[in-house]
Structures are given as structure tokens and as C-alpha cells.
């Protein structure tokens, strides 16, 4: 009982630390596989998974309330509903038998949470930390991170943790804020709660003018905030395609 409570508390702590908003803290999420594997029952594994995910995604209720201009109710509902997928996958694939069988089961859980349909709500995936632990490694870095996650569920987890800590310290010592790719321009529209809710022709034309003006400042690829265009209807699609046709601008 005490062991299970400690694992659950640590899962919540590590989830909160890893997803605190500081990019260099992301590797803390690599502790989750070890906690999951240390559970002695399926119910403890379920609570460990829930504690990690809920702590990591704790900002979701307020974010939904801000985005949709609503109370916390819908955000809380989405928060708990999203956690069900994460918890269900990791609970179903947990096994009491240690060894590489358990490790492969965690690998399968991680893969399922990285792709649709489960991956749609796969926020807080520990694999996100690959870019911090192995910056500039590309696909090799992703593979190394995936292998490290699996190793954290085996008896070799102390050695894996030491190796990961070494890469983490090296990365933190040489860290530089990533630059925006050439040709990309982000736009902060500052429209508040009207963002994505005004689907009028006038709003679309204003957005098109903003995009073209931004492109004129040296951006071949213009990035707007999420949901900025509202509902993507055939009429909206035709308007945008005709407006951007021949401009060389991608939205």
C-alpha cells in the first residue's frame, strides 16, 4: 500500500515537473516508465498512469475555458476523458511478469499513444523529450529516446537513467534556443475570443490581407494561430485557394 502510494505521488510530481513549461525539464518524463514498471498490481499501474497524465496536462481545463470563453466544466470533462485513453492503454498492457516481455508491452503502449486514434490525445508523451536529450540527432535521436524509454522498464533502468542524465546535462550545457526555420513567419492576430468564431467573408479577407502582408516581409510559409480560419467549408477553401494562387505563399 505504501509502495503504491509513493509511486503514484512520484508519478504526479514528475509529470508536473516535466511539463512545467520549461523545455529543459522535459526529460523528467523518462521516469514514468520506471514507475509504471515498478507497480506490483494492475490497479497501481492504472493510478500511476493517471497521476502522471493528469499532472502533466493540468493546464488543459483553464486552457479550454480561455479558448472557448466558457467555464471550467468542458475543460475538466476533456481533461478526464483524455486521460482515460492514456490510462486504459497503459493499464491493459501492464504485466506482472518482469523482463523484456514487460518492456515490449510498454513499447507497444508508447507506440499506440504516438499515433491515432489514441495519439490524438497523446499529450505528455515522454518521447517528446527526444529533442532535448538528443538535439540535432534527427531520426537517430528519436530511436535512441524510444530505446531509452523501453530500457527504463527493465532491471537495467539505473544504468539507463545515468546515461540519460549524462546526455541531459550535456544538452543543457550546450543548449541554444532553436531558431525559426527559414521562410517561416508566425502571426499573432490578437483577436481574443473572436478567433475562429467569425466566419464572415469580411473576416476571411482581413486574414488574407494579413497573410499577404506578412509574406511581403520575407515569409514564404505563414503560420496562423490554431482555428484562426474557423470552420473549413468549401467556400472558405475556394476563397483561400484563389487568393493565394500564384503568390508562392503557403499557409
* pLDDT, position 215: 87
Summarize pLDDT for 194-247 with one digit per residue, the tens. Answer: 777 777 888 899 999 999 998 888 778 999 988 888 888 899 999 999 999 988
Summarize pLDDT for 73-132 with one digit per residue, the tens. Answer: 888 988 998 899 999 999 999 998 888 899 999 999 999 999 999 988 888 999 999 999
CA distance 100 to 96: 12
**Confidence band (pLDDT; 50, 70, 90) for 133?**
very high
Q: For 194-204, b where at least 16 C-beta lie within 10 A, e where not — what string?
A: ebbeeeeeebb
Torsion angle (degrees, nearest 10) of CA 214, 219, 221, 224: -30
* Mean pLDDT within 11-31: 96
Summarize pLDDT for 39-89 with one digit per residue, the tens. Answer: 999 999 999 999 999 999 999 888 877 777 677 888 898 899 889 999 999
Running DSSP on this structure, what letter comes out for residue 181?
P
* pLDDT, position 180: 78
Parallel, antiparallel, or unpaired for β 221-223 and 184-186? Answer: parallel
Share of the chain above pLDDT 70, in %: 98
Amino acid at each position: 500500500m505504501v509502495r503504491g502510494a509513493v509511486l503514484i505521488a512520484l508519478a504526479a510530481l514528475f509529470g508536473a515537473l516535466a511539463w512545467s513549461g520549461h523545455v529543459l525539464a522535459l526529460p523528467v518524463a523518462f521516469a514514468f516508465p520506471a514507475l509504471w514498471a515498478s507497480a506490483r498490481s494492475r490497479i497501481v499501474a492504472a493510478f500511476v498512469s493517471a497521476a502522471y497524465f493528469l499532472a502533466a496536462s493540468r493546464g488543459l481545463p483553464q486552457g479550454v475555458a480561455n479558448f472557448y470563453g466558457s467555464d471550467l466544466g468542458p475543460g475538466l470533462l476533456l481533461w478526464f476523458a483524455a486521460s482515460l485513453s492514456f490510462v486504459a492503454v497503459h493499464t491493459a498492457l501492464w504485466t506482472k511478469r518482469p523482463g523484456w516481455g514487460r518492456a515490449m508491452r510498454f513499447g507497444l503502449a508508447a507506440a499506440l499513444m504516438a499515433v491515432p486514434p489514441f495519439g490524438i490525445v497523446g499529450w505528455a508523451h515522454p518521447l517528446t523529450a527526444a529533442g532535448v536529450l538528443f538535439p540535432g540527432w534527427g531520426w537517430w535521436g528519436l530511436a535512441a529516446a524510444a530505446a531509452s524509454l523501453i530500457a527504463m522498464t527493465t532491471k537495467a533502468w539505473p544504468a539507463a537513467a545515468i546515461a540519460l542524465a549524462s546526455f541531459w546535462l550535456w544538452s543543457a550545457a550546450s543548449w541554444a534556443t532553436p531558431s525559426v526555420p527559414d521562410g517561416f513567419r508566425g502571426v499573432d492576430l490578437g483577436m481574443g475570443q473572436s478567433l475562429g468564431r467569425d466566419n464572415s467573408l469580411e473576416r476571411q479577407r482581413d486574414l488574407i490581407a494579413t497573410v499577404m502582408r506578412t509574406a511581403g516581409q520575407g515569409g514564404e510559409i505563414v503560420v496562423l494561430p490554431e482555428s484562426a480560419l474557423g470552420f473549413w467549408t468549401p467556400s472558405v477553401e475556394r476563397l483561400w485557394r484563389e487568393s493565394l494562387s500564384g503568390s508562392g505563399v503557403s499557409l
